[in-house]
Amino acid sequence: MKGILVGITLACLLGIPCYAIKSMMFNSVDQYIERAHGIWIAQIVKQTGQQREIGPTYEAKIIRTVKGEPGKEALTICAISRELASGEQYLVFGFNRISTSDAWMDNGNISPVPVPASFSLVELKGKSVKEQVAAIITARCSDLDRLIKRLAEEKSALERGLEFQERLDKLPSKGK
C-alpha cells in the first residue's frame, strides 16, 4: 500500500494525468487493450535527446495501428522502462499522454514490447486486436526463452571452467 501511495504522489508531482495512475495498476492483456488510448507497432527513428518529465523521448514511425486512429504516421515515446534502439520495432501501448502533446509515456511495466526481428507482421492480418497483441507478446516470450537458455549455457560453461581451475589449483605443484 505504501508503494502505491508513493507512486501516486510521484505521479502527481510530475504532472502525470490521473488516468495514467490507474493504467499502471493492471496486468491482463484485456486490460491493456481496454485502457490503452492507442496500440501501435512502431519503428524507432531516433532518440530526440529531450528529457521529458521522466525519461528520454524517441521519435517513431508507425508501421501498423493495432488500435486507435487510422492514418497516424508518427509517434513520440517517452521511455521510462527501457532504452529503445533505433531501427527496432516495438508494440507500443498508448496509456499516458504527456501534457497536451502527442508524446506517450510507457507504463514502466511491459510497454513498449520489442517485436522480434523474426516475427512477420503478415501473421497479424485478419486477427483481432487481442490476437495481434497476444501474438507479439508470445513471440517476445519465445525470444526471451531462447535468450535465457543461451545465457544459461554460457554461464554453465564459465562455471565449469572455474570449477576445473579450482581443482587444478588444489593439486600439488611439481616445482615446490
Give the residue ranges of DSSP H helices in the chain: 2-13, 18-23, 29-35, 129-170
Number of domains in the chain: 1
Percent of residues, the chain, with pLDDT higher than 70: 72
Q: pLDDT band for position 17 (50/70/90)?
A: very low
> Please, what is the average pLDDT of the chain?
80
Of residues 7 and 157, more confidence is placed in: 157
- Structural domain contains residue 157: no
- Structural domain contains residue 70: yes
pLDDT at 31: 86
- Structural domain contains residue 121: no
Q: Which domain holds residue 27?
A: 2-116
User: pLDDT for 23-47, tens place per residue?
Assistant: 345 578 888 888 888 899 999 999 8
**Of the candidates 44, 42, 40, 88, which has an alpha carbon nearest to the alpha carbon of residue 65?**
40
Average pLDDT over residues 158-170: 92
- Name every residue whose Cβ is closer than 8 Å to that of residue 15 and which is 6 or more positions away in sequence: 53, 99
- Structural domain contains residue 107: yes
CATH of the domain at 74: 2.40.50
Average pLDDT over residues 82-93: 91
Instruction: Return d(Cα 41, Cα 120) in angstroms, integer.
Output: 12
pLDDT at 176: 54
- Structural domain contains residue 18: yes
Q: pLDDT band for position 160 (50/70/90)?
A: very high
- Structural domain contains residue 10: yes
pLDDT at 101 over 90: no
pLDDT at 115 over 90: yes
- Structural domain contains residue 17: yes
Percent of residues, the chain, with pLDDT higher than 90: 46
pLDDT at 57: 83
pLDDT at 82: 78
What phi, psi does 68 have (nearest 5°)?
125, -170
- Structural domain contains residue 23: yes
Instruction: Return d(Cα 50, Cα 47) in angstroms, integer.
Output: 8
pTM of the model: 0.73
User: pLDDT for 49-77, tens place per residue?
Assistant: 766 556 788 899 999 999 988 888 988 88
